[in-house]
Amino acid sequence: MNELAAEFDIPFSSRYGAAVYIMEYMTEDINGELIIASGAVAVPQPVLGALSMVSYQHGTRVRRLDVPSGGAIEQILIGLLFSADGYLSVMPDLLGFGSSPGLHPYLIADVSASAIIDQLLAVVQWSMTQSWDTSRKVYLAGYSSGGYTAMAAQRTLEADYSDEFSVVASAPMAGPYDLSGTMFDFMSRAEAHPQPYFLPYILLSYNEAYDLFDEPSDFLRSPYDMTLPPLFDGTHSGADINHAMPSIPTQIIRQDVLQAIEEDSSHPYRQRLRENDLTDWLPNSPTRLYHCAADELVPIENSEVASKNFGSIATLVDPSPQSGHLDCALIAIASARAWFNSIATADE
């Protein structure tokens, strides 16, 4: 584990080794139908007593196997960072990845929360058959879109699962929580974007989930109505999709549709974005929103809006103001890990 951390230039010392398991479990898809899902679990070695769980959510992925169960090294490493401190590290693939078929429901809160929580429930049941147990204390973390899904899981856990789990602390990092405000304005600009594939990802995902349009040609310009949807089949990377797009993401949208969306605040697409905002609820558990001010992919205003609405139980932490989205990730994760450990140590 130490060698792996060194390869990724991560300062690291471990209290425990870890065994990594791949698991499958059942959850519900966007239509409420049962579907198979998968993920990974890292168990500290040796196992001591009832383990608290850290549920870590990965960021934006497109390829089906670029997830924990597929052996994505950087994601497994993050899980190992937590298990090395004695946590049972739970890493869901989310729907549309690993063993789960179909298009990932990108930035759709409730179905993402269900996939995360159903893995936690499955881990509890599985642990009962193993040499360890779970304390049912849960720490939540995630980066980028994983920050968004971690927050979605926190909201649902606190509202509906307080008898099953105790959320000790939550560390959503650099997430697009303000979809209908900050992110809509940001992605609507007629400017080049470093990752233009984010826009068709959410458009295609929302169209599949909410039937906004009958066909891709109803909202995408030619030739993108024909060329882009096949690239979201789980075998292509974000770089592949970026290569097939203009650098200004809005140029893939039909002009009449783009005008209607921008001018009509009640357009169905904007309504669905509002439904999936994560800024209009109140956390019950200590929450730190980690976000670097120089983030060029997911503006820090997302966390500023959320933090302002959440009140005193939530704190906005900028661990490295000069760092962009990718450089901020390891710094934020290390900061969250230290915070979790400080809480766990105080509870001992």
CATH number at residue 257: 1.10.260.160
**CATH code of the domain containing 87:** 3.40.50.1820
Q: Which residues pair with 28 in a beta bridge?
A: 34
Last residue of a domain, one of 274, 293, 315: 274
Provide the token pair at 148.
């968004």
Q: Which residues lie closer than 8 Å to 36 by C-beta, 6 or more apart?
A: 24, 25, 26, 99, 100
The residue whose two tokens read 């990730």 is 329
Last residue of a domain, one of 244, 274, 304: 274
Do residue 256 and residue 306 come from a single domain? no
Do residue 31 and residue 148 come from a single domain? yes
| Structural domain harbouring 239 | 179-274
Do residue 160 and residue 193 come from a single domain? no
Do residue 262 and residue 287 come from a single domain? no
Angstrom distance (rounded) from CA 310 to CA 308: 6
CA proximity to 143, closest of 74, 228, 199: 74
Last residue of a domain, one of 274, 292, 323: 274
CA proximity to 167, closest of 53, 303, 332, 39: 53
Mean pLDDT, rounded, for 151-175: 98
Do residue 232 and residue 169 come from a single domain? no
Do residue 108 and residue 197 come from a single domain? no
For the cut 50, the answer to whether the pLDDT of residue 4 exceeds it is no
Task: Give the pLDDT band (50/70/90) at residue 46.
Answer: confident
Reply yes or no: is the peptide bond before residue 92 cis, omega within 30 of 0.
Answer: no
Mean pLDDT, rounded, for 209-214: 97
The mean pLDDT value of the chain amounts to 94
For the cut 70, the answer to whether the pLDDT of residue 10 exceeds it is no
Do residue 159 and residue 89 come from a single domain? yes
Do residue 38 and residue 126 come from a single domain? yes
Do residue 160 and residue 206 come from a single domain? no
CA proximity to 317, closest of 155, 153, 141: 141
Do residue 139 and residue 254 come from a single domain? no
Do residue 127 and residue 22 come from a single domain? yes
Do residue 70 and residue 158 come from a single domain? yes
The answer to whether 255 and 169 have CB atoms below 8 angstroms apart is: no
Look at the chain and report how many structural domains it folds into: 2
Provide the token pair at 266.
């009640």
For the cut 90, the answer to whether the pLDDT of residue 9 exceeds it is no
- pLDDT (tens digit, 9 = 90+) per residue, 250-274? 999 999 999 999 999 999 999 999 9
State the sign of the Cα–Cα–Cα–Cα dihedral 338, 304, 193, 209.
positive
For the cut 90, the answer to whether the pLDDT of residue 121 exceeds it is yes
